[in-house]
Amino acid sequence: MPKIPFFKMSGSGNDFIIIDNREGVVAAENIATFVRNVCCRRMSAGGDGLILVEKSDAADFKWQFFNSDGSLAEMCGNGARCVARFAYVNGITGSDMSFETDAGIVSATVSDRRVKISMPDPDNLTLSDGVELASGPLAFSSVNTGVPHVVIPVGDIDSAQVVEIGREIRYHQKFKPAGTNVNFISLRPDGVAAVRTYERGVEDETLACGTGAIACAVVLAAQFKKPSPIDVETKSGGTLRIYFKENNGHFFDIFLEGDARIIYKGKLWEDAWNYGRHPFDGPKRIVTP
């Protein structure tokens, strides 16, 4: 079987496997299993997600973005920055480009390792909501920034129960059937917002989440009238900058800026996706509520 060329890239600690699939090197059948296996750390290349670059009649190219569990996602800000630099480095587009996503057409500008991308206008912003958890009631805000996000303020970001509470909220009846991403946010004295995120589809805390950073910035702007741009520090230590405009509670012209680093390029052998039982299948499978 032919080997599949790929790039491994990282955006603020979110890592992705990116494949130029304009000629159909990755078959459509059993794609979810292929993604799940290739994204499995230690067994394969490993990543928070996998991106296929495909042909488009409406933009420079089209992407398919997959979470590491094989599910499709509408948008990923860190992944979008990485795929933009991938397209530029590989001569698919110039430094200014547009590409199709399930959340709409995204524009991007590449400047060395930094990439600035347009993002969908957020909607369904709710600032005063709550949910009943096993530990008791919890107040939160929520907004859809291409994918759904919950934002929870915490006093100490380091002690936040990101996985425990994040997983309970992600699978809570209130957010079924699609579920939600969950962000824990703390505003530092210097004005920078520190955030930690439990990501739907990865089913764990990740080092960064672009759409989550935007969700936190929108909530901060709506609640505390913080002006654009807002810097958000991710778990990786990297900072994402969010630009926006606001009019009577409506947020628009959203841009996300941050790094998009090329880690390495290589070729996937068949061993990368065809290795038998996935480690999380069978007795070791995580049982979620």
- Active site (catalytic) residues: 76, 209
Residues in the chain: 289
Dihedral angle sign, alpha carbons of residues 120, 121, 127, 132 = negative
| Helix then strand then coil, % of the chain, to nearest 5 | 20, 45, 35
Alpha-carbon separation of residue 249 from 32, 88, 120, 144, 246 (angstroms):
39, 36, 16, 14, 6
Q: Please compute Rg for the chain using Cα positions.
A: 19
- Cα angle: 228, vertex 230, 168; to 5 degrees: 125
Strands (E), 112-180: 114-119, 123-133, 136-144, 148-153
44-58 burial, b for 16+ CB within 10 Å, e for fewer? bbebbbbbbbbeeee
Question: How far, in Å, CA of 58 to CA of 55, rounded?
Answer: 9
